[in-house]
Amino acid sequence: MDKKPSSLFESAQAQLDEVARMLNLEPSIHAILREPMREVQVSIPVKMDDGQTKVFKGFRVQYNNARGPFKGGIRFHPDETIDTIRALAAWMTWKCAVVNAPFGGGKGGVICNPKEMSRGELEGLSRGYIDAIWEFIGPDKDIPAPDVYTNPQIMGWMMDEYSKLKGYYSPQVITGKPLAIGGSLGRVDATARGAVFTIIEAAKHLNIDLSTATAAIQGYGNVGSNASLLIHDMLGSKIIAVSDSKGGIYNKHGLEPRNVLQHKEKTGSVINFPEAENISNDQLLELGVTILCPAALENVITEENAPRIKAKMVAALANGPITPEADEVLNHSGVFVIPDFLCNAGGVTVSYFEWVQSLDKYYWDEEEIHRQLNKSMTKAFRDVLTESLKRKVSMRIAAYIVAVARVAEAVRLRGWV
Ligand code: NAD
């Protein structure tokens, strides 16, 4: 039996190893895909508000660029580690490949606590990070984006710093920018909207009438609240439960997502919503709904609770909400899973559209963004479903097979082996 992975990156490698065996991948290509191509580690001095200079540690991992420039977010987090960034950079490689965006994968991060930093300190850190890595990134090299605790304003400062160093306005270097400086329409709800397009396809495959379906959504942040609105408005399904870090709410007759959002804005949480009863996050996961959307944290569906999941389909909007062991259990009990790096790829897809628009200096209207997003997500879903049916494997394994085969083909055709 293989050694149990002890780190996140080791589990990313173990997942690749499994798929490499199924694909009969040449050992030389497998070896290339197991390791990041480049890792940059930098020290970033920032003049803090008290006059002292503090030195922060930053990373950029460039995992693989066989299919195009590296692409992936930048995280500002106190517990950031190079191991996590490595794993996330690998997963970005597969995510871009599964939606056929012409990118490789990368990820960056800085060890810091943005919640304890002033706006000026955050700007200094954002600019300092770019000063340290700017020679390694670029519109045709590596295109960062926001991730945990980074946002459009931070992308704006980073783009400005890069433009100053180059000597000209360079919005193509980064995505997730504010609209006024080269951002794209449709980015805010892109992840949730992309997921809805995959839910529509899954429902066709499973013969489910979404207009009479019910949904439960864990997490009411950007992804979860937008998913609630879109599932309600676009699909006509009933949202019977939602939750956040403080707990969940349930109403079998359906919740009105806009009223829940107003309540959360007023009180800081979805709990104690007048037209619903409070439930726990664990209860939410085990409701007998048509669609379950984990849209908060990783590892919420595990080997332990997977046998109690009664949903017909699980749309994995968060990153890593289902452990590989739980995925096996769900697959065997007939719960249809839309795996995370397919289900939540709408964000990177609209990032791709933002890059294209910035390069073209021609901006699309929102309708065009939605149309193109629908086309990409639907095609990606169908590619994965076809592979899953052909090989009789779960959608998660099928998504890996599609993605890894595409990256491997690029490595082969470029003559790297
Ligand atoms: P967010 O910070 O806006 O929202 C997170 C939500 O999860 C909040 O409502 C929070 O209260 C809730 N939450 C936290 N702990 C919880 C707990 N223990 N139980 C239940 N709910 C809890 O984050 P987001 O941008 O909506 O991202 C959510 C997930 O989607 C993450 O896994 C993220 O990596 C993934 N994702 C986001 C995007 C994007 O475009 N924002 C793209 C791809 C993947």
Dist CA 370 CA 360 (whole Å): 19
For the sheet containing 70-77, what is the strand order? 38-47, 53-64, 105-111, 70-77, 142-146
For ligand 1, the distance from its centroid to the CA atom of residue 409, given in whole angstroms, is 34
Active site residue 107: yes
Mean pLDDT for the chain overall: 96
Active-site residue (options: 3, 4, 95, 107): 107
Residue to probe by mutation, ligand 1, list 244, 279, 340, most atoms within 8 Å of CB: 244
pLDDT score recorded for residue 1: 39
- Round to whole Å and give the CA distance between 297 and 374: 25
User: According to the model, what pLDDT value does residue 8 have?
Assistant: 87
- State the sign of the Cα–Cα–Cα–Cα dihedral 230, 232, 236, 239: positive
Using only C-alpha atoms, the chain has a radius of gyration, in whole angstroms, of 21
Cβ(74) – ligand 1 distance below 6 Å: no
Backbone phi, then psi, for 166, in 5-degree steps? Answer: -80, -30
Q: Is 133 in the pocket of ligand 1 (CB under 6 A)?
A: no
Residue with tokens 């899954």: 202
- Among candidate residues 247, 243, 273, the one with its CA nearest the CA of residue 260: 273
Residue from 150, 222, 279 whose mutation best tests the ligand 1 pocket (most atoms within 8 A of CB): 222
Total count of residues recorded for the chain: 417
3-state helix, strand, coil in the chain (%, to 5): 50, 20, 30
Question: What whole-number distance in Å separates Cα of residue 270 and Cα of residue 243?
Answer: 6
Max intra-chain CA distance, the chain = 64
Spatial distance between the Cα atoms of 219 and 293, rounded to a whole number of angstroms: 9
Any atom of ligand 1 within 6 Å of the Cβ of 281: yes
402 lines ligand 1 (CB under 6 A): no
With a 6 Å cutoff on the Cβ, whether 33 touches ligand 1 is no
Query: Whose C-alpha lies nearest to ligand 1, atom 18?
Result: 245
Residues 13-61: pLDDT tens digits? 999 999 999 999 999 999 999 999 999 999 999 999 999 999 999 999 9
Token pair belonging to 152: 């459009």
For ligand 1, atom 32: residue with the closest CA: 318
pLDDT (0 to 100) of residue 4: 64
Q: State if residue 349 touches ligand 1 by the CB under 6 angstroms criterion.
A: no
Q: pLDDT of 377-386, one tens digit each?
A: 999 999 999 9
User: Mean pLDDT per segment of 10 residues, for the chain of length 417 residues?
Assistant: 72 94 98 98 98 98 98 96 95 97 98 97 98 98 95 97 98 97 96 98 98 97 96 98 97 97 97 97 98 94 97 95 93 96 97 97 97 98 98 96 98 97
To the nearest 10 degrees (0 to 180), the angle between helices 190-206 and 222-230 is 50
Alpha-carbon distance of 226 to 261, in angstroms, equals 10
First to last CA, the chain: 29
User: Going by DSSP bridges, is the β-strand pair 142-146/238-244 parallel, antiparallel, or unpaired?
Assistant: unpaired
Which residues fall within 8 angstroms of residue 357, CB to CB, at 6 or more apart? 182, 184, 363, 364
How is residue 401 written in tokens?
Answer: 């097979």
Structure confidence at residue 133 (pLDDT): 98
User: Which tokens is 9 given?
Assistant: 């990156």
